[in-house]
């Protein structure tokens, strides 16, 4: 996995050891694996890394997870910025939370002069997104899914894990003893993405176990 990541990194990104990236860290397996892969890059191409974390304060575990993130940053001697979401709306939580996160990330990129924002989106997220957009309807152009990179704030947003499934990330984390936290709300059917992830996609995998790889 390290080799695959390194090959994609060198092929698709024009970054050097003098580059500065902002990594959106959630504490979940995806972003923690991404952090590990970045730190394992050879020194001559490994960029400077700053971390950004949003404490949404929507669950009892939120503060404990924020402390987990702080300890990781301290252990790795990486700069960390944390912002709390103090006024969530009564409805439209998913979109509002996303907008809040990305506004914070954009602000931090400008302050830190970071050229690139990286997130831990993976192939399994891609399948969920494609299915959600297909069901919601709209133009065919919107069915393109999550892009590997796009213009964002003063630089670009990159998702370097899109070629890896969630299962591969879990396997890698286990082999490398990478600590991460599980968001219990991912099992709740209140959120649209969770219903696709936990109810619809398992049915599709029964029909075709390779559906994520298509």
Q: Does the predicted model carry a pTM greater than 0.95?
A: no
Tokens read off for 74 = 């301290």
Q: Output the CA–CA distances (angstroms, integers) from residue 148 to 25, 57, 123, 144, 183, in the order listed.
A: 18, 29, 11, 11, 24
| Contact by Cβ (8 Å): 189, 199 | yes
Higher pLDDT: 154 or 205? It is 154
Sort residue 178 into left (φ over 0), alpha (ψ -120 to 50) or beta.
beta
In this structure, what token pair is assigned to residue 189?
């059917």
Give residue 206's pLDDT band: very low, low, confident or very high (50, 70, 90): confident
Note the Cα 24 to chain centre separation in Å: 7
Rg (CA), the chain: 17
Per residue in 92-122, pLDDT (tens digit) is 888 898 999 999 999 999 999 999 999 999 8
Q: To the nearest whole number, what is the mean pLDDT of the chain?
A: 87
- Residues 52-73 have a mean pLDDT of 91
Measured in residues, the chain has a length of 214
Distance CA 29, CA 173 (A): 7
Half-sphere exposure of residue 109: CA atoms within 13 angstroms, side-chain side: 22
Look-up of token digits 């390194």: 6
- DSSP E strands in the chain: the ranges are 20-24, 48-55, 80-84, 116-118, 149-152, 155-158
pLDDT-derived band at 127, boundaries 50, 70, 90: confident
In three-state secondary structure terms, 135 is: helix
pLDDT at 139: 56
Q: What is the mean pLDDT of residues 198-205?
A: 77
Percent of the chain with pLDDT over 90: 57
Q: Which of 112-121, 133-142, 202-211 has the lowest average pLDDT?
A: 133-142
Both tokens assigned to 97: 């939370």
Tell me what the mean pLDDT of segment 17-36 comes to: 96
Percentage of the chain beyond pLDDT 70 is 91
């Amino acid at each position: 996995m390290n080799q695959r990541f390194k090959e994609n990194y060198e092929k698709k990104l024009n970054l050097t050891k003098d580059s500065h990236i902002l990594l959106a860290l959630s504490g979940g397996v995806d972003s923690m694996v991404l952090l590990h892969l970045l730190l394992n890059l050879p020194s001559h191409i490994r960029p400077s890394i700053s971390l950004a974390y949003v404490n949404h304060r929507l669950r009892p575990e939120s503060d404990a997870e924020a402390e987990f993130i702080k300890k990781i940053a301290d252990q790795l001697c990486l700069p960390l910025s944390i912002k709390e979401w103090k006024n969530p709306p009564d409805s439209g939580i998913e979109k509002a939370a996303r907008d809040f996160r990305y506004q914070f990330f954009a602000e931090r990129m400008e302050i830190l002069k970071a050229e690139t924002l990286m997130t831990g989106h993976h192939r399994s997220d891609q399948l969920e997104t494609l299915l959600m957009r297909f069901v919601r309807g709209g133009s065919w152009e919107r069915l393109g899914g999550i892009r590997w990179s796009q213009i964002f704030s003063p630089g670009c947003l990159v998702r370097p894990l899109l070629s890896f499934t969630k299962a591969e990330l879990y396997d890698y984390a286990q082999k490398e003893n990478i600590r991460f936290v599980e968001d219990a709300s991912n099992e709740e059917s209140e959120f649209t993405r969770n219903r696709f992830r936990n109810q619809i996609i398992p049915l599709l995998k029964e029909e075709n176990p390779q559906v994520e790889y298509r």
